[in-house]
Structure 1
Amino acid sequence: MPDSVDAATVRRWCAAGLDALRRHRAEIDALNVYPVPDGDTGTNLALTMAAAVEAADGAAVGDVLRGAARGALLGARGNSGIILAQLFKGLADALDGVAAADAAQLARALDEAARGAYRAVAAPVEGTVLTVGAAAARAALAAADGAGARSGGVAAVARAAAEGARVALARTPEQLPALARAGVVDAGGRGLVVLLDALVQTLTGEAPPPGGAPGPATPPAPRPGGTMEREAGSGEYAYEVQYLLQAGAAAVEALRGVLAGLGDSLVVVGDDPTWHVHVHVNDVGAAIEAGVEAGRPSRISVTRFADQITARAEAPRPRTAAAVPSQSAPPDARAEAGAPAGVRADAGSPVGVRADGGSPVGVRAEAGETAGVGAEAGARAGVRAEAGAPQSVPAGAGAPVGVRAEAGETGAGHRERADAGREERADAGREEREAEHWERADAEHGERAEAGRRDSGVVVVCSGPGLARLLEAEGATVLTGSPSTGEILDAIRGTGAGRVVVLPNDPNVLAVAAAAAAEARAAGVRAGVVPTRSPVQALAAMAVRDAERRFEDDVIAMAEAAARCRAAEVTIAGREALTVAGRCQPGDILAIVDGEVNLIGQDLSQTACLLLDRMLAGGGELVTLVSGRDAPEGLAAALTAHVEGSWPFVEVQCYEGGQPHYPLLVGVE
């Protein structure tokens, strides 16, 4: 057995790890916390590892690992792929300049890799691959300090790391309730065990222990709904804090970590030294103090969501000939919905101003605008008359235009008529000059808008041909499936724009999108990520996009619009599982809201109707329905009729998305 790990050994390990991940791909894919056949962690890990193998080259062990880390980063798929790339980066950093690693160096490298993975995650969660990696590192360090390392060298360290990871993996359901409810272990952690087993096999020739991923011995008892861990969302935080910040890039990076620990909806965009900071928190003072410590904040804005909602609800709404009253749930609908378990009304859900009998004005309320105002930030106050529109008659214009003096009128009357004629000609000349002015202004405005569009772009990730066509029609570059970091980076570059927003539309793509945006920024492109979790949120974000706005303001506006859109999915259970809503069986209809199973039913249409009632009970004026590939004919029409009957002042928009796995996507704004 070798006494050290050299460059050739690392290349063999990477190849063996890729082969093992491919063999275990289906097994790892099946370790999904939801009983939906869309798990892809195993696939993502295999694809990411393939990119790492292709780039793993160099004369020294550190060089090979550096190449593998770079390849994994650019080829990363999903959150698991991003973590794998970070693990390789940690190994490369620890072994930089090392020709061949001995047992102690290997153990320290595994420890640095685990620590680096934790640092890369804004809000680390135990019971995940991070926990498994940390356990492997501890076991490796203990082996390197013991007699086993002296007798077995690097092989003993690798065995200890793999066994430590295996034990930690078996305990992940005890640490993460979602795993316990589903009766599975963490999929990313299982992938790491497979890779460490491949390292042992590379060093010793020993086959890994038989058996697949371990799970809990008995199904866990359900916990009370109020104690279930779930995605917090903006509803958990009472205040929105925004400010401009003058600070260096290093200070801003530290600020990100501080604010991530204080709340959610964190967006920090800009260029050194000016940044725009936005976060939802409960401790306003701490959020502002963090900005003071990082640099010099200005234009500080604090909004309490509860006050904002109250102000919008109580503000007098402009009325038109077809004014729309405030929406209230019909008594029977409220009774049916009950207390919407697991469903919350997003903070700051817009009331909005409607005209023309309920059709939306078409401009959504932007972040920070006053209650009841629907105009976008930066829009000119007041309404400008279009070119050629009749202008108001100035006071003191003399006799009304078009009134002729009667026969026999006096000289004064004649002068009055002459004055009126001159005034009429003056008015006509003034209207002509104003028309020319507005025509020039419109032309200049159009040129600026066109220039803004050319210099700004949007990259959107989605699945389904209908969704792709819909988003492309909005001017977006669309990627389908689960793209890699490199593919998203190529799409950003392919827009040819200097300012690009990325909409990932899937929690599992978010980290990959962030890595691609970071690479783009390093290449001189101002790229930002709006953390959309569903295509319906992307549609909401695209509706408020304004290429003429400052890039930072546009990113914030799109992020706010996406956050105001509550998203849900309706799908079909692929296996038996214990969920927040109870135990489901294969073939059951599942309604998932904010990442949790909210309803279990037998009929797709009935379950979807009840889902809409529950979501609308929390408020909303616009429902977006996106039909999937397997949606039955007439589903959208039936749901539209239900909303029109039960919620008469709610508008419904329907689209054919064609997405797999989810017959229906729902958005409520």
Structure 2
Amino acid sequence: KEAGVVDSGGQGLLEVLQGAYDVLLGKEVDLKVEPVSRPVQKPMGAASGETADITFGYCTEFIVMLDREFGSAQEQEFKDYLTGMGDSIVVVADEDIVKVHVHTNHPGKAIEKGLSYGALTSMKIDNMREEHEERLNLSRQAEEKEPAPRKDMGFVAVSIGSGLNDIFRELGADYLIEGGQTMNPSTEDMLNAIAQVNADHVFILPNNKNIILAAQQAKALVEDKEIIIIPTKTVPQGISALIAFEAESSVEENEAAMTEMMNGVKTGEVTYAVRDTTIDGKTIKVDDIMGIDDNGIQEVGNDVEAVTLGLLRSMVDEDSELICIYYGDETPEEKAVKLSKKAEELYPDCEVQMEYGGQPIYYFLLSVE
């Protein structure tokens, strides 16, 4: 509410309550669906398994920072333009910005149209045919691979970013679910992941407070394995929890050790603002850099390094021993090296480690233990 945006979970709950209220009143709802007048793209992973089934090959996203009037007429004009060249269209206007999403074969044309309304930021184009082919190859490899012998304990972890994925695998994670702030896996995703782990006891590391409930629901539905949820709320917590695992210890001992280790981790995130807002008493402009820790937004500024070091100041105390810096997919390695050296100078009593995380959206993820 303070940020001036709609919480999708809260809106969903409101719809459920409205539906219950309508039932009590005996309201009749027309559930007829109008036929689509043009071909619809088949979903990724269609039964045929052919990339040719993907009608529009490029998932295109960007944000327009408006420099001209953009009312309902302009919004409809933009939607109509995109409808003529693709599907899965989202055009959402909010004061000074417009968020755009479209599947198309001509991403350049969508971008050109966006530029007619203002400057662009957060541009992202993904080749869905290429991604689909990679998924099919991985699926074929999994089918051809002989199943590993059943073991006592295994792990499912939620992760995002190639570097973080590699770290989890190196620490012994059996199966990774792609997830993140805007891509929360479902209970079904959890169940599918659990089925892939050939173990009697499966530990789940949600690594996001929004995913813990899905893990709990999955646990209640699994009968042939014991599911242990370590309630990690961040990726750094998940990494530290996995480090605490000892193969020689019992399930109960590992659950206690991993939970204790997780609770000793402070997490920080450095990202950018996509809109103007005021929150936690801080005025934030679009494209400002924000430093966020477990207690909320701590730093706001225009320089990534300055905000990151300011965030570290709020996280490190006299009991801190280890600082881990994970740099994202859009952060050059040399900037990460420079930052880690400054952290070593500022906190000589702490060990400073730097790793490639490859996470989107966040320039840096920080862990202080």
The aligned residue for residue 176 of structure 2 is: 478
- TM-score (ref. length: structure 2): 0.61
Residue 468 (str. 1) matches residue 142 (str. 2): no
Cα deviation per residue 1:336-381 (whole Å; 9 max; x = unaligned)?
Answer: xxxxxxxxxxxxxxxxxxxxxxxxxxxxxxxxxxxxxxxxxxxxxx
Distance in 2, matches of 1:637 and 1:651, equals 14
Distance in 2, matches of 1:538 and 1:187, equals 26
| Structure 1 residue 549, shift from structure 2 partner | 1.1
The aligned residue for residue 456 of structure 1 is: 153
The aligned residue for residue 598 of structure 1 is: 298
Q: Is the 8 A contact 2:267 2:368 kept in 1?
A: yes
The aligned residue for residue 117 of structure 1 is: none
| Structure 1 residue 598, shift from structure 2 partner | 0.9
The aligned residue for residue 39 of structure 1 is: none
Secondary structure in structure 1 of the residue aligned to 2:307: helix
Of residues 252, 276, 281, the one that matches 1:552 is 252
Deviates more, 1:482-491 or 1:651-660: 482-491
Distance in 1, matches of 2:352 and 2:240, equals 14
Larger Rg: 1
Residue 580 (str. 1) matches residue 280 (str. 2): yes
Cα deviation per residue 1:391-444 (whole Å; 9 max; x = unaligned)?
Answer: xxxxxxxxxxxxxxxxxxxxxxxxxxxxxxxxxxxxxxxxxxxxxxxxxxxxxx
Residue 189 (str. 1) matches residue 10 (str. 2): yes
Cα deviation per residue 1:579-609 (whole Å; 9 max; x = unaligned)?
Answer: 2251111111111111511111110011111
Distance in 1, matches of 2:339 and 2:364, equals 11
Of residues 168, 186, 203, the one that matches 2:28 is 203
| Structure 1 residue 624, shift from structure 2 partner | 0.9
Q: CA 1:511/1:490 → structure 2, altered by over 3 Å: closer, same or farther?
A: same
Distance in 1, matches of 2:155 and 2:28, equals 47
Distance in 1, matches of 2:294 and 2:266, equals 8
Q: Is the 8 A contact 1:581 1:600 kept in 2?
A: no
| Identity percentage of aligned residues | 33
Give the AA of the match of 2:167: L
The aligned residue for residue 336 of structure 2 is: 636
Q: CA 1:488/1:468 → structure 2, altered by over 3 Å: closer, same or farther?
A: same
The aligned residue for residue 46 of structure 2 is: none
The aligned residue for residue 281 of structure 1 is: none
Of residues 347, 361, 364, the one that matches 1:647 is 347
Give the AA of the match of 1:517: K
The aligned residue for residue 61 of structure 2 is: none
Distance in 2, matches of 1:540 and 1:654, equals 15
| Structure 1 residue 198, shift from structure 2 partner | 7.1
Of residues 172, 185, 189, the one that matches 1:487 is 189
Secondary structure in structure 2 of the residue aligned to 1:455: strand
The aligned residue for residue 211 of structure 2 is: 509
The aligned residue for residue 289 of structure 1 is: none
| Structure 1 residue 206, shift from structure 2 partner | 10
Distance in 2, matches of 1:532 and 1:561, equals 10
Cα deviation per residue 1:631-659 (whole Å; 9 max; x = unaligned)?
Answer: 24423212211122111121111111111
Distance in 1, matches of 2:344 and 2:303, equals 20
Cα deviation per residue 1:503-526 (whole Å; 9 max; x = unaligned)?
Answer: 001111111011112222xx1312
Residue 538 (str. 1) matches residue 238 (str. 2): yes
| Structure 1 residue 622, shift from structure 2 partner | 0.7
| Structure 1 residue 188, shift from structure 2 partner | 2.2
- What is the correspondence of 1:202-601 to structure 2 with a 5 Å cutoff? 203-205=28-30, 454-476=151-173, 477-481=175-179, 482-520=184-222, 523-601=223-301
Cα deviation per residue 1:452-511 (whole Å; 9 max; x = unaligned)?
Answer: x92101110011111111101111021112322122122223211111110001111111
Cα deviation per residue 1:62-96 (whole Å; 9 max; x = unaligned)?
Answer: xxxxxxxxxxxxxxxxxxxxxxxxxxxxxxxxxxx
Q: CA 1:651/1:662 → structure 2, altered by over 3 Å: closer, same or farther?
A: same
- What is the correspondence of 1:607-626 to structure 2 with a 5 Å cutoff? 607-617=307-317, 619-626=319-326
Distance in 1, matches of 2:342 and 2:272, equals 21
Cα deviation per residue 1:296-343 (whole Å; 9 max; x = unaligned)?
Answer: xxxxxxxxxxxxxxxxxxxxxxxxxxxxxxxxxxxxxxxxxxxxxxxx
Give the AA of the match of 2:195: R
Distance in 2, matches of 1:527 and 1:612, equals 35
Q: CA 1:646/1:524 → structure 2, altered by over 3 Å: closer, same or farther?
A: same
- TM-score (ref. length: structure 1): 0.35
Q: CA 1:182/1:647 → structure 2, altered by over 3 Å: closer, same or farther?
A: same
The aligned residue for residue 68 of structure 2 is: none
Secondary structure in structure 1 of the residue aligned to 2:360: coil
Q: CA 1:643/1:186 → structure 2, altered by over 3 Å: closer, same or farther?
A: closer
Secondary structure in structure 1 of the residue aligned to 2:326: strand
Distance in 1, matches of 2:243 and 2:170, equals 12
| Structure 1 residue 187, shift from structure 2 partner | 2.8
Q: CA 1:634/1:464 → structure 2, altered by over 3 Å: closer, same or farther?
A: same
Distance in 1, matches of 2:346 and 2:17, equals 56
- Unaligned regions of 5+ residues in structure 1, if any? 1-178, 212-450
Q: CA 1:637/1:579 → structure 2, altered by over 3 Å: closer, same or farther?
A: same
Q: Is the 8 A contact 1:581 1:599 kept in 2?
A: no
Give the AA of the match of 2:152: D
Q: CA 1:206/1:524 → structure 2, altered by over 3 Å: closer, same or farther?
A: closer
Q: CA 1:494/1:205 → structure 2, altered by over 3 Å: closer, same or farther?
A: closer
Q: Is the 8 A contact 1:601 1:607 kept in 2?
A: yes
| Structure 1 residue 205, shift from structure 2 partner | 4.0
Distance in 1, matches of 2:162 and 2:8, equals 29
Q: Is the 8 A contact 2:298 2:314 kept in 1?
A: no
| Structure 1 residue 196, shift from structure 2 partner | 6.2
Give the AA of the match of 1:464: G
- What is the correspondence of 1:63-102 to structure 2 with a 5 Å cutoff? none
Distance in 2, matches of 1:590 and 1:581, equals 13
Give the AA of the match of 2:11: R
The aligned residue for residue 361 of structure 2 is: 661
Q: CA 1:632/1:572 → structure 2, altered by over 3 Å: closer, same or farther?
A: farther
Distance in 2, matches of 1:505 and 1:540, equals 11
Higher normalized helix content (fraction of residues): 1
- Unaligned regions of 5+ residues in structure 2, if any? 33-71, 73-148
Higher normalized strand content (fraction of residues): 2
